[in-house]
Amino acid sequence: MAHSFRSRSLLGLAVVVSTVGLGYACTARQGGPSKLTTSEAAQRVYVAPGAKDEFYAFLSGGFSGQVSVYGLPSGRRFKTIPVFSQYPENGYGYTEETKAMLNTSYGFVPWDDSHHTALSQTNGEDDGRWLFINGNNTPRIARIDLTRMETEEILEIPNAGGNHGSPFITENSEYVVASTRFSVPVPNRDVPINEFKKYFKGQISFITADKPGKMAVAFQIAMPGFNYDLARAGKGKSAPIEYMHNSIDAFTRTATSEKLTSVLTVDPKDCPGAVYFMPTPKSPHGADVDPTGEYIVAGGKLASVIPVHSFSKMLKAIEAKAFEGELDGIPVIKYEATLAGEVKNPGLGPLHTEFDGKGYAYTSMFISSEIVKWKLGTWEVVDRVPTYYSVGHLMIPGGNTRKPNAKYVVAMNKITKDRYLPTGPELTQSAQLYDNTGEKMKLLLDFPVEGEPHYANAIEASKLMEKQVKFYKLADNKNPMAVRAEKETGVSREGKKVHVRMTAIRSHFAPDNIEGVMVGDTVLFHVTNLEQDWDVPHGFAIMGNQNGELLIMPGETRTLKWVPPRAGVYPMYCTDFCSALHQEMQGYVRVSAPGSNVALTGTLSKGPSAAPKAEAAPAAPAAPAANAKKKQ
Amino acid sequence: MTRTARWLTLVAALLMASAYVLPLWRISLIAPQYPEGLGMKIRIDNIVGVKENDLNSINGLNHYIGMKRIEPDMIPELKIMPVLLGVLIAAGLGTAALGKRLPLAIWGGTLVAAGVGGLYDYWRWGYDYGHDLADDAIIKIPGMSYQPPLLGPKQLLNFTATSWPDSGGILLVLAGLLVAVALWKSYRKPAHVAS
């Protein structure tokens, strides 16, 4: 089995090699598109200082595991939303409140590969509530709240391997669909890889998406493994499995993990009429549905045409039983019976298609490195523009919805050699913005991106701007370690654990001098940011911490774990330049030898400025050192 | 008192009641870091932020210069003013009912006194906040005080503070003008004709 796969991929490679040469010839023959002058293009993308972009664009971070937020048309990056990877910059995955977000049935997984974004929809239009994104490596789906631009929930997908074909959202966000890239043994267990046919399954998961905090695998359809032989189905419908559901509570702002142990599996053989196969040429990758719902455009990476299937013809074919056979009990509809048309000579390596809602489709061509615009119905190519280079997905704002806003087309490219200042062996990936207001697409902007964006979504800024949360209300903070005023702060011991309940406000932490910690203790700094104003986060870090830092939003409580390795006095300070008195936000923790009799205290250095305290500091280290000596 | 004057008196008294629901005064603060602005609204019985957390933010900023926290609960005037206003309105209604010009003159005089007294009190609080600064203030600039303006704009470090009557205050001024007109109408003619 494995052998036959290898020979097939070799064949595939041969085809790619032979077509690359053709690709160059093809592009050259087509000639350049009508271009804008540099100053015309610059005017279209220039967003004056202080002015706002027209669109938010959410680009997947690829192997960064995150999502990046950009403005269009400027191409400026505003934010990285950490999703599947630890993010030292804001402590995501490091703080006690957020660690649980990265729990999986395999344990804590600090990284993933995020591919496809999906905005929530109402009636087939982007509604700006949430953004979903997949974790490809350790199969997961995350939900990002778009009022806070923060990952709120992550659901692991059982019985999957390589959650690539996901998340694809239904018209009212009822489900996101996640199909596995690798078929894996179901349940996953120790079996010979060459007994693929016998044990491997390709699960398609339907995930409840419209209930915040309650994402769940509603059911899975057990599809045959990706071999095309007729094979016997694997057994075990209620297989023993484990997967994790992690979510952040809105009031404690703390993530918890829940282990789930069952999933409803639907075997298509038991539900005749539930699933059909529709053959399409050749190494198919993308499958995109036009805004009317009638056309399904397939992207056969190695196909010489773009086949377009008709939804209504497909239904008729099913009714007329126009099948050419069965695969694992699932009927295979005849190719011709569903075919609406083929786009001839589109270019090389068609991957993904987006739509403008005006009767045109735009397909990315990976091998010939271009975007091709063609007309639905007549299947004629009307325009093509080069990309720099090797475009994967492309994106039109709302281009996968019923109502695209096709002012712009964005290409996301894998290769950028010679496009920017070179940066050693590792080069950035990029995106290109095209004007799409006329008949011809015109290149406006070429900007580097974070990680490798696979898919992306963009939404009109007006749909999100006013909804942005500015800070968290202190009164709503239900973190058990939160304090609402300086007088509630304090230091307490619980065996070998020391809890420091601290507050941060512009100019100081309280307490900011802590003594009585001993080597062997685990210190938990629970820091509440008392500010109630926009854009006043405070940071918190302590010397030598083998963990990360905290970045605490106003009204929020975050907890940093620290295990001091040796006696001494450890400076701690605010890491986010919060205000004119940022540099004054500092303090010390004195760590004594185990068994020392230094009382556990947390005090506030009197006076607004920490400078006198800093002058007194040289005396401090002497004490723990003396204690340590005594012990020896 | 003429018929018109009585009506004016009645309307003035009723206008004054709007101060129970509308803010009297507003102090706005603008700084480079606060393009959206911060502000306080002085109501008859409270001081509130223009935006939900503005008062809290203003207090947070004021702690840099050692200014006392603005705590509405600590300002007795906010408890007295609603009662005082009630008395003034009742007196106004009584004046309108009586229809005599002497009570109108007394009432008008009282209103002026109350207005001047109120403004003086506001100025006194501003002076106190602006001058009575903590010794351990983080930012101490010799000779600098932070008294907010009584009327109009004033630069206080990086902030431009602006003080103007708010809708309730404007209506009070309007009420006062109506009373002035009523007085003028009443005293334009001899007493035996007018009343």
A253 in Cβ contact with A477 (< 8 Å): yes
Chain B residue with Cα closest to A555: B53
What is the chain A residue with the closest CA to B158?
A580
Which chain A residue is nearest to residue B35, measuring alpha carbons? A50
* Residue whose C-alpha is closest to residue B51's, from B32, B74, B29, B84: B29
> What is the structure's pLDDT at A22?
38
Q: Which residues of chain A neighbour B56 with C-beta distances below 8 Å?
A: 532-533
Which residues of B fall within a CB distance of 8 Å from A532? 53, 56-57
* Amino acid in position A585: M
Both tokens assigned to A295: 């056309």
Six token digits for residue A129: 């509530």
3-class DSSP state for residue A328?
A: coil
The average pLDDT across B116-141 equals 92
Q: How does pLDDT run across B63-74, given as a tens digit for each residue?
A: 889 999 999 999
**Contact (CB, 8 A) for A482 and A557:** yes
In chain A, the domains with their CATH numbers are 82-277 (2.130.10.10), 474-631 (2.60.40.420)
- Residues with Cβ within 8 Å of A583's Cβ and at least 6 positions away in sequence, in order, are none
Average pLDDT over residues B165-176: 95
CA pair distance A25, A347, nearest whole angstrom = 11
Please say if the pLDDT value at position B126 is more than 70: yes
Dihedral pair phi/psi, residue B166, rounded to 5°: -95, -175
Site from B64, B133, B135 to mutate, A interface, most A CB atoms within 10 angstroms? B64
pLDDT at B128: 94
CA distances from B31 to B35, B131, B164 (A): 6, 21, 18
Q: What count of other Cβ atoms lies within 10 Å of the Cβ of residue A438?
A: 9
Residues across chain A: 632
CB burial of B28-64 (b: ≥16 within 10 Å; e: otherwise) equals bbbeeebeeebbbbbbbbebebbeebbbbbbebbbbb
Gap between the Cα atoms of A155 and A137, Å rounded: 13
Q: How far apart are CA B173 and CA B170, in angstroms?
A: 5
Residues of chain A with pLDDT below 70 are 1-34, 226-239, 606-632
A608 contacts in B (CB within 8 Å)? 136-138
Q: What are phi and psi of A567, to 5 degrees?
A: -65, 155
The alpha carbon of residue B53 is apart from the nearest alpha carbon of chain A, in Å, by: 6
Which chain A positions have a beta carbon within 8 Å of B49's beta carbon?
A: none
ipTM of the complex: 0.75
Identify the closest residue of chain B to A475 by CA–CA distance. Answer: B53
Question: Helix, strand, or coil here: A481?
Answer: coil
Of B53, B136, B137, the CB nearest to A533: B53
* Mutation for A interface: B138, B157, B158, most A CBs within 10 A: B138
With CB atoms and an 8 Å threshold, state whether B64 touches A533.
no
Beta bridge partners of residue A339, listed in sequence order: A309
Element (H, E) at A14: helix A2-30
Please, which residues 467-496 of chain A have a Cβ atom closer than 8 Å to chain B?
A: 471
Q: What is the pLDDT of residue A226?
A: 55
B57 in contact with chain A, both atoms CB, cutoff 8 A = yes
Interface contact A607-B57, CB threshold 8 A: no
Q: How many residues does chain B have?
A: 195
What angle is formed at CA A458 by the lines to CA A457 and CA A463, rounded to 5 degrees?
130
Contact B56 A533 (CB under 8 A): yes
Instruction: Return the residue matching tokens 């979504």.
Output: A457
Q: What percent of chain B has pLDDT over 90?
A: 79
On whether the CB atoms of residues A138 and A109 are closer than 8 A, the answer is: yes
